Amino acid sequence: MSPNTRLLLYALAAVVALIVLISRFKLHPFVVLIAVSLGMGIVAGMPFSSVVKAFQDGVGGVLGYIAIVVGLGTMLGKMMAESGGATRIATTLITLFGQRRVHWAIMFVAFIVGIPVFFQVGFVLLIPLVFTIARRTGMSLVKIGIPLVAGLSVVHGMVPPHPAAMLAVGAYQADVGRTIAYAIVVGLPTAALAGPIFASWIAPRIALPAESPIAAQFAGGAGGVPRDMPGFGVTLFTVLLPVILMLCASTADVALETASTLRAALDFVGSPIVSLLLALLFSFWSLGYQQHFTRDQLLKFANDCLAPTATVLLVIGAGGGFNKVLLESGVGKAIAAVALGSHPSPLLLAWTVAALIRVATGSATVAMTTAAGIVAPIAVATPGTHAELLVLATGAGSLVLSHVNDSGFWLIKEYFNMTVPQTLKTWTVAETIIGVAGLGFTLLLSLVVGCAPPPPREQRELSAQGWIDVTAALDPARTPVYAGDAPLKFEFLKDMRKGDLLTLSVYSLGAHSGTHIDAPMHFVANGASVDQVALDPLIGAARVIDIPDSVRVIDAGELRRHDWRGAKRVLFRTRSTLRGWMDSPEFHRDFAYIAPDAAQLLADAGVLLVGVDYISAEQFGAAAPRTHQILLGRGIPIVEGLDLRPVQAGDYDVIVLPLKVARHEAAPARAIVRKPTGTFVGLTAARTHRK
């Protein structure tokens, strides 16, 4: 049995164990998720310490964002419920669409609201409406709720500017505007099938408990005292305020320069957490003081609604931990390897790879970005493939079969107060319908758009034109050597200048000489050696960041002052470049270094490669090599000793290739960059495929 097959069987057993322990033996999901996650990591061969750390990182990564969103969104929903605002919107929708069609209205509202916001944000904003409409109409919560999550999910997976969709757009070199247009054409009928149509069929077959702790928080009617409801306009503006702010931020990112102060301000207020906070504060006035609530009542609303979210958040966080253990154990890579062996068409391959990774890891974002990276080179070499349709196929696959390893599964289960089997019959089936229908409509659309030629791509031979060498020359007379490292010694064994028949040299130098790559083995026990470092982080788009000469410590505060987010490879141009230190034999101990908190930010953001312009990224004399441990511990290679004098800050294509030295922690490398041309990915991938 191959290692990949064994790993997939372990993952399948872990999922089955989760379902059985929770649904059959009635164990608490929080406890089961922890136990199964740790067991999965151990049987997969992960070191004990790595298993615990992976689970902790997964919990922290999910809750660091979700906990704040759920908390703020729940308080905003409570304000809407207690003030009568949710009832006002619900009655208006019922009046406009009629009680029999209100679930269709919810789907369209979710589709529109979901375009500029994340799934979780849209969910907590709109869930109060679902509870209120279900209570007032007597309709099943499932019949109203499934259209809500279907509309939000389709937009989350298929429609830019959502992060995963945008990353796929970049990987496939697709046109953003055309992708959005196609996504709406495919997304609306997909959401209709998985939402109102499926919900109408499944709702009579799902019996929910009469009481729901979360729904009770949105029952409204403070103290049972009747009061006038707020106006429809002010209530709608309050709930849509986060959407408006996020939409402004997205517009600013397109219309304004990166260095614009206005863009930075709009990005700040348009971030999910800040926009929700501002909406909540506004609701205290519009739905609180304007409705004659006292400060004591507002405080009570906030306290009352947060208590039931504790269990919800713990289960969601544990689901994120399980997800992280699956990723760290290599399940995603094993799934991708299996899919690539089947050789289907690019659209089917993109969907299949994304779907398999989604099922194995539970993360739609990981599934979409990983699948796009795998399929893009094959798609480029396949004539007639429409990049925009590949984005949709990948997005559809990334949504299929959400189950117990997806934190969204637990979010829906806890809010709707369903059992695990009920959540599988509703949410999981709805997500699978989205995945399958999304692929089907994409294939139908390909029959239409396939009649028109795809947008032309520049076709030219890959050449040395535009490439800039940023490698520091290896020369014993002018290459700096880190204190205590081996000196450079170059000798001629034979020299034609001295009458020999040939020239023959011998070199003696340390592995960390000049421009070089540090592999995980450098500071991570059992880490990958330099010959095992994959090509993916070493080739692709990079961003050069200018650090002022006066800055010696690139800490989290300094990093936040620069536009680096979204870059997959980050190269720091510091005082070492400005002073030409990579071309000076003297070792300078006061070089600029990356602080551990900045390294953590880079690692958490998913950066693939970090580069510096001196022979170490670590503070000289540091008590512990934390920066290296953080980056290399995440599998992020570090390129040190770059000579960035020929380039300025900005975006580049980069290639950094180390010598393939077996079973060692580092090796000298050659590094070149050039300004992006739009053909780098395609030409490189096509050549690789032809070989």
Q: Quick check: is 516 catalytic? A: no
Contacts with 64 (C-beta within 8 Å, 6 or more apart), sequence order: none
Where do we find the tokens 């032309």? 456
DSSP string, 175-213: -HHHHHHHHHHHHHHHHHIIIIIHHHHHGGG----S--H
CA triplet 321, 324, 327: central angle to 5 degrees?
155
CA–CA separation, 357 vs 331, rounded Å? 8
Beta-bridged to residue 494, according to DSSP, are 504
Q: Pull the structure tokens for residue 631.
A: 């980056």
CA–CA separation, 658 vs 607, rounded Å? 19
Is the distance from CB of 412 to CB of 149 less than 8 angstroms?
A: yes
Catalytic residue among 522, 562, 628, 664: 522
Q: What's 2's DSSP letter?
A: -
Cα dihedral: 478, 480, 485, 491 (round 10) = -10
Q: Pull the structure tokens for residue 103.
A: 């679930």
CA–CA separation, 183 vs 185, rounded Å? 5
CA triplet 202, 362, 428: central angle to 5 degrees?
5
What percent helix, strand, coil does the chain show, rounded to 5? 60, 10, 30
Q: Cα separations (Å) of 40 from 48, 260, 338?
A: 11, 47, 20
Residue closest to 344 by CA, chosen among 443, 224, 239: 443
Residue closest to 148 by CA, chosen among 118, 127, 132: 127
CA–CA separation, 14 vs 11, rounded Å? 5
**Residue 346, Cβ neighbours under 10 Å: how many?**
22
Where do we find the tokens 């659309």? 445
Handedness of CA 109, 204, 424, 306 (dihedral sign): positive
Phi, psi of 137 (to 5 degrees): -95, -15
Question: 248: helix, coil or strand?
Answer: helix
Which amino acid appears at position 542 of this protein? A
Is the distance from CB of 646 to CB of 671 less than 8 angstroms?
A: no
User: Which positions are annotated as active-site residues?
Assistant: 522
